[in-house]
Amino acid sequence: ISHHDYEAANRALERAIQLHRTSDNPRGVARSLYHFGDVAMYRGDYQRANDIWVEALAIARGCDDPHLL
């Protein structure tokens, strides 16, 4: 993201989310979604960012890990 290559960031994060879901790793899903929401925000898609962050927060709450909140 630091180089503003949002397409590459989207691809990498989509893959990370898929891998974390496949491996039943909700913490990884929550973290990846959080960053995925950041990319949407940086691109100016605030509604999408909000929707992604809401999903990330719901998953994080289910993990009972205070570091995710």
Please compute the mean of the pLDDT values over residues 48-54 and round it to a whole number: 98
Q: How many CB atoms lie within 10 A of CB 66?
A: 7
Is 60 exceeded by the pLDDT of residue 63? yes
How many percent of the chain have pLDDT more than 90?
Answer: 84
Best CA proximity match to 52, nearest among 8, 10, 1: 10
- Residue 1 pLDDT level (bands cut at 50, 70, 90): low
Q: Rounded to an integer, what distance in angstroms lies between the CA atom of residue 44 and that of residue 40?
A: 6
- Residue 67 pLDDT level (bands cut at 50, 70, 90): confident
Q: What is the pLDDT of residues 28-42, one digit of tens each?
A: 999 999 999 999 999
